[in-house]
A and B are shown apart, each in its own frame.
Chain A
């Protein structure tokens, strides 16, 4: 840990030009291609995207989980004044689980099936802090109770398969937070769960975040969850961020046509059903054979309004108003007008 005076100067998390590329037989797959992020302490950043957008690889890179033998990781990841990419593996391992922790989508495959849940959390404590097994177990029980596991004294000796999906995810959260990490990365934490359980888990994460002052990166495809919990949103497509803004700005004034497409694709429960949804056409591009120019251009309804620019030139992520970054060749007034029209059409039949 560095002194607080230093960390006041810059954001808690800064990612500069992060790239993750996997050499494959078919060519180099740039899963993540030049990502920049900043995040203040205690805030929640949501990274949204569809499968293959690179959102999970970004999370794994920040967590130091990308295999450096299999992938080329470039750029800089600064957490609390420490740079992770150039750091020796042993030191990263020291940080992982203590300063940075992660919750995965599938709690069944993230917990060891042969060990009692209590023992797994005790191990997580003792890996980072010298503590007697007895004290560690006491702390484990305390934490399990804190995340809402009923009948803790009995459940602490249960095996993962004896718990329901929601309970297992609570155990994962307890394990992730047991060493009070400064940064929690939640990769699709509720995707495998029912909506009623999802609501419980998201409330739990928010409550604990408030109590411990944890900074959270939430990886999700669900725009509803983002609207619920995020302070900031980064929308990813084909390995890059295409739009970044504070949550309310992103939902009220989206500018990138891909963001608009996502918002028009989701059926809305709070509005009268539309006659037809207006989905993004086509399929995401192959990461080996990305389109020239704007990566979203083949699916974009408005690319013909860029004067051919989107066919040839990769757009940059540029500011469009305070805290709002957009990667699009369309002139700002033009894309703002498009967004207004599309959103008005979506809201056309309010209930």
Chain B
């Protein structure tokens, strides 16, 4: 047995770029989509790391790269102490026994022409493993374990609901007792009542088998329920990472604040009296990300320095890392922050440098703070 504290996953300086080709007879590479742009992740065995971000943040690409479904441009991936970065598909086969994946869309992740029994038995087939008691018995056990009726062994995926299909995907993923499962938005396609069932199932399996999860999701409430630690991604970079308690109650990165304040709380009294940080606009293009800090174009804390210097991910407290020049505590947030997008200003005629108040201003909370920084530099 390995030590309890050993990292099952260790990712360093991971970059995944996708080339952008020009049109024409001889396509040239004219740019790169920097989907993942230098991230570090560690995951201990039996632990859950939530990886959150908006669409386009690179969280799914990061997840796929970690299992080498996409090849990294740069960086290293260590699974269970073994550097697997340059492994061929063939050399990866034994690694796949340790690291499995659960996909977002339970409709597309299962072969519609295979029976449930055959789908769940696939890992045994591929790996050439015969479990004690035989494959069929193991599959029936697995079905029972994830809450499927073993009598449905010979049914096809289209006969199941979304939640049940996700259970099939989970049974397949745990078949070989992996040490790591990368879960890519495993519950986002499901109704709330079914979603809660699947979250509970994942947690039970973790307690039973000690599996570690890299849990990729955009739903911060779900991530809070399941994760021990959380990493927040934006445009290919990790903005902040900390224990669950710290991320949700004492975050420091302006982007984490913005994300948290955007999630509506199912309680009318609380929800209608919250600090809101309303980000304007959308994610900038990952082909041509902003200079310096990638979040600065939407950030209420942004100043001149942010356009020039990339903020390093520094450890502010044990286990709490933040990549920001001007981190801010929850108690210092103004009552309401509206952030103008730089792109908006660039394209609008006239109003180039509207007077602005920085969100960091202390003093009594004001109802509305137009927080675009006066110094905000441009790309």
**A interface residues with partner B (beta carbon < 8 Å):** 50-51, 148, 150-151, 154, 164-167, 194-200, 202-203, 221-228, 247-248, 251, 261-270, 273-274, 276-281, 283-284, 351
Interchain residue pairs A-B with the least CB separation, the first 10? A224-B264, A279-B196, A267-B225, A151-B347, A223-B266, A50-B191, A194-B54, A265-B196, A280-B193, A277-B196
Question: Given the interface contacts A50-B193, A268-B221, does A276 sit within 8 Å of B262 by beta carbon?
Answer: no
Query: What's the Cα separation between A269 and B270 when bound, in Å?
Result: 12
Question: Given the interface contacts A151-B347, A248-B269, does A266 sit within 8 Å of B263 by beta carbon?
Answer: no
Answer yes or no: B248 CB below 8 A from chain A CBs: yes
Within 8 A of A (CB), among B233-287: 244, 248-249, 258-272, 276, 278-282
Quick check: A265 and B163 within 8 Å, CB to CB?
no
Query: What's the Cα separation between A306 and B343 when bound, in Å?
Result: 60
Q: Name 30 interchain pairs, CB-CB below 8 A, sorted by A.
A: A151-B348, A194-B54, A196-B258, A198-B262, A199-B261, A199-B262, A199-B279, A200-B279, A203-B278, A224-B263, A224-B264, A224-B266, A227-B265, A247-B268, A248-B269, A251-B267, A266-B196, A269-B224, A269-B260, A269-B263, A269-B265, A270-B267, A274-B225, A276-B200, A276-B203, A277-B196, A277-B200, A280-B193, A283-B161, A283-B163
Answer yes or no: B138 CB below 8 A from chain A CBs: no
Query: What's the Cα separation between A217 and B319 when bound, in Å?
Result: 45
Query: What's the Cα separation between A194 and B220 when bound, in Å?
Result: 11
Answer yes or no: B122 CB below 8 A from chain A CBs: no
Other-chain residue from B54, B264, B267 in contact with A225 (beta carbon distance below 8 A): B264
Apart from A194-B218, A251-B269, A262-B192, 12 more pairs, CB < 8 Å: A150-B281, A200-B279, A225-B264, A227-B268, A228-B264, A262-B193, A267-B196, A269-B265, A276-B200, A277-B199, A277-B225, A280-B196
Quick check: B268 and A248 within 8 Å, CB to CB?
yes
Quick check: B271 and A267 within 8 Å, CB to CB?
no
Query: What's the Cα separation between A94 and B246 when bound, in Å?
Result: 55
Question: Given the interface contacts A221-B192, A279-B193, does A273 sit within 8 Å of B225 by beta carbon?
Answer: yes
Among residues of B, the one whose C-beta sits closest to the C-beta of A193 is B55
In whole Å, how far is A195's beta carbon from the nearest beta carbon of chain B? 4
Question: Given the interface contacts A195-B218, A283-B164, does A226 sit within 8 Å of B278 by beta carbon?
Answer: no
Answer yes or no: B39 CB below 8 A from chain A CBs: no
Answer yes or no: B115 CB below 8 A from chain A CBs: no
Among residues of B, the one whose C-beta sits closest to the C-beta of A203 is B278
**B interface residues with partner A (beta carbon < 8 Å):** 54-55, 161, 163-164, 191-197, 199-200, 203, 218, 220-222, 224-225, 244, 248-249, 258-272, 276, 278-282, 341, 343-344, 347-348
In whole Å, how far is A235's beta carbon from the nearest beta carbon of chain B? 12
Quick check: B262 and A268 within 8 Å, CB to CB?
no
Query: What's the Cα separation between A283 and B198 when bound, in Å?
Result: 12
Question: Given the interface contacts A195-B218, A262-B192, A279-B194, does A200 sit within 8 Å of B264 by beta carbon?
Answer: no
Q: Which residues of B contact A200 (CB under 8 A)?
A: 278-280
Quick check: B55 and A270 within 8 Å, CB to CB?
no
Other-chain residue from B221, B276, B281 in contact with A199 (beta carbon distance below 8 A): B276
Among residues of B, the one whose C-beta sits closest to the C-beta of A150 is B344
Q: Which residues of A contact B200 (CB under 8 A)?
A: 276-277, 279
Q: Is the interface of B mostly helix, strand, loop or mixed?
A: helix
Quick check: A268 and B265 within 8 Å, CB to CB?
yes
Quick check: B191 and A227 within 8 Å, CB to CB?
no
Quick check: B196 and A224 within 8 Å, CB to CB?
no
Q: Which residues of B contact A223 (CB under 8 A)?
A: 192, 266
In whole Å, how far is B246's beta carbon from the nearest beta carbon of chain A? 13
Q: Which residues of B contact A277 (CB under 8 A)?
A: 196, 199-200, 225
In whole Å, how far is A106's beta carbon from the nearest beta carbon of chain B? 14
Among residues of A, the one whose C-beta sits closest to the C-beta of B269 is A248
Quick check: A196 and B262 within 8 Å, CB to CB?
yes
Q: Which residues of A contact B193 (CB under 8 A)?
A: 50, 261-262, 265, 279-280
Question: Given the interface contacts A150-B343, A267-B221, A279-B193, does A195 sit within 8 Å of B262 by beta carbon?
Answer: yes
Quick check: B271 and A224 within 8 Å, CB to CB?
yes
Quick check: B264 and A351 within 8 Å, CB to CB?
no
Query: What's the Cα separation between A165 and B56 when bound, in Å?
Result: 12
In whole Å, how far is A277's beta carbon from the nearest beta carbon of chain B? 4
Among residues of B, the one whose C-beta sits closest to the C-beta of A267 is B225
Q: Which residues of A contact B161 (CB under 8 A)?
A: 283
Other-chain residue from A150, A227, A284 in contact with B266 (beta carbon distance below 8 A): A227
Among residues of B, the one whose C-beta sits closest to the C-beta of A224 is B264
Q: Which residues of B contact A221 (CB under 8 A)?
A: 191-192
Query: What's the Cα separation between A276 and B226 when bound, in Å?
Result: 9
Quick check: B54 and A266 within 8 Å, CB to CB?
no
Quick check: B194 and A283 within 8 Å, CB to CB?
yes
Quick check: A273 and B196 within 8 Å, CB to CB?
no
Interface centre among A196, A248, A351 (most CB of B within 10 A): A196
Among residues of B, the one whose C-beta sits closest to the C-beta of A277 is B196
In whole Å, how far is B186's beta carbon from the nearest beta carbon of chain A? 14
